[in-house]
Amino acid sequence: MILWIALCYMVAWTGAQVSPGMASPEWYDSLAKPAWNPPAWLFGPVWTLLYTLMGISAWLVWKDHGFKSAKTALSLFLVQLALNGLWSQIFFGMQETGWAFFEILILLTAIIATTWLFFEKNRLAGWLMTPYIAWVTFATALNGAIWMMN
């Protein structure tokens, strides 16, 4: 289990390197944001929980089926994890809100497909992915709003 969670945290770490708290607070602070933009302190705890749930979810699928029997589901999990890390690089690192919006749409699609496949392998694993879908759906709307407002 620790390996899967650590993998998720590694992606979180790469995103943190370009996040407003670490790299470009002036740029992010200067953006117009909708009134429903969450406070900055909320992102760390939410993402910590989500990455933990994602890691447990992948571990459950791997534990029950192994990589060979769950190759498609676990491979797609790794793809969506890479897309997750890429979003931070595009949005915060490159400061490209429009490209980040298109990328997050692909990410959300990959998360939904992964969750579907996880449900087929292990119901709990699928349920553990649903908060991630909810948050990234919200993040997609927020990214779109920020893009349009700027």
Nearest CA-CA partner of 5 in 70, 41, 65, 59? 59
pLDDT of 20: 65
122, 4 Cβ separation under 8 angstroms: no
- Distance between CA 93 and CA 99 in Å, rounded? 12
What would the pLDDT profile of 1-19 be if each residue is shown by its tens digit? 677 788 787 888 787 777 7
At 108 the pLDDT is: 98
Residue (of 10, 89, 87) closest to 55 by Cα position: 10
| The predicted structure's pLDDT at residue 84 | 96
- Token reading at 3: 């390996």
Structure token digits, residue 17: 């390197």
pLDDT range class, residue 26, cuts 50, 70, 90: confident
Residues 75-117 have pLDDT tens digits of 999 999 999 999 999 999 899 999 999 999 999 999 999 999 9
Each residue's pLDDT tens digit, 57-80: 999 999 999 999 999 999 999 999
Q: Give the separation between CA 138 and CA 103, rounded to whole angstroms.
A: 14
Return the pLDDT at 114.
98
Kindly indicate whether the domain formed by 2-149 is annotated with CATH number 3.10.20.30.
Answer: no
Q: How confident is the model over 115-139, as pLDDT tens digits?
A: 999 999 999 999 999 999 999 999 9
Quick one: average pLDDT of 45-63? 95
For position 23, what pLDDT does the model report?
59
